Amino acid sequence: MRIDADREVCTSAGMCALTDPGRFDQAEADGRVVVLDAEVPEGDPAALAAAERCPSGAITLR
């Protein structure tokens, strides 16, 4: 699977970085999401949880 995070939609809530800190970070300048590793093993539970918990729906898995 591959992760996409839409920085235009991100509201800097930080749930993704809290849920899956190895894969997501937040930019120092604006707090918006930074994807550290976009390639995700199929069904990765942390990545799925991060996408589910994002309040703005900025994270998509495909």
Closer Cβ to ligand SF4, 33 or 43, answer by number: 33
Nearest to 40 by CA among 51, 25, 55: 51
The nearest distance, CB 56 to ligand SF4, in angstroms, is 4
- Asked if residue 52 lies in contact with residue 20, where contact means CB atoms within 8 angstroms, the answer is no
The nearest distance, CB 43 to ligand SF4, in angstroms, is 20
The nearest distance, CB 18 to ligand SF4, in angstroms, is 8
Binding site for ligand SF4 (CB under 6 A): 5, 10-16, 26, 33, 54-56, 58-59
CA dihedral 26, 4, 19, 46 (to 10 degrees): -150
